[in-house]
Amino acid sequence: MRFNKEIIVVTDTISDMLTRIRNATMVKHQIVQIPVTKMSLAIATILKEEGFIEDFENYQEDKQNYLLLSLKYKGKSRNSVISKIKRVSKPGLRVYTNSKELPKVLDNLGIAIMSTPKGVMTNFKAKELGIGGEVLCYIW
């Protein structure tokens, strides 16, 4: 009997993505591979726009789509630009906020990624548009 070790069932894809990025930055990997979902693609786009990663690309291997994220480091000691990633809203406990109580991450030095009716965006963009939503994660 042969088992396919590639089939891994993940219930929380956002948490899986953040954990893969966190683990890769801890051991100073240059690239991290993440299974593609609409949400992971939206989060990767925000991370690139905000300067937390260098770039990302979509690629296919054995009929499975993946995102390759190129991580960003600074200085000769190669300290990661991402100091910390924290998942806020979880499948068992969703965290929502309205437009008047949007989160401030490290006195606006970090960002909160939110899922809003107008799409996935940062807390700054949500404030600009005057909308609230589900707080997915904090990054600084």
Residue type, 60: Q
- For residue 73, the one-letter residue type is Y
User: How many Å apart are CA 71 and CA 81, to the nearest integer?
Assistant: 8
Tokens read off for 117: 């009716």
Query: How do the domains of the chain map onto residue ranges?
Result: 13-139
- Mean pLDDT of the residues in the chain: 94
Q: pLDDT of 57-94, one tens digit each?
A: 999 988 899 999 999 999 999 999 999 999 999 999 99
Fold classification of 13-139 is: Dna Ligase; domain 1 (3.30.1490)
Confidence band (pLDDT; 50, 70, 90) for 10? Answer: confident
Q: 3-state DSSP call for residue 124?
A: helix
pTM: 0.90
Q: Which residues of 43-55 are buried (b: 16+ CB within 10 A; e: fewer)?
A: bbebbbeeebbee
- Cα gap 18→28, rounded to integer Å: 15
pLDDT at 4 over 60: no
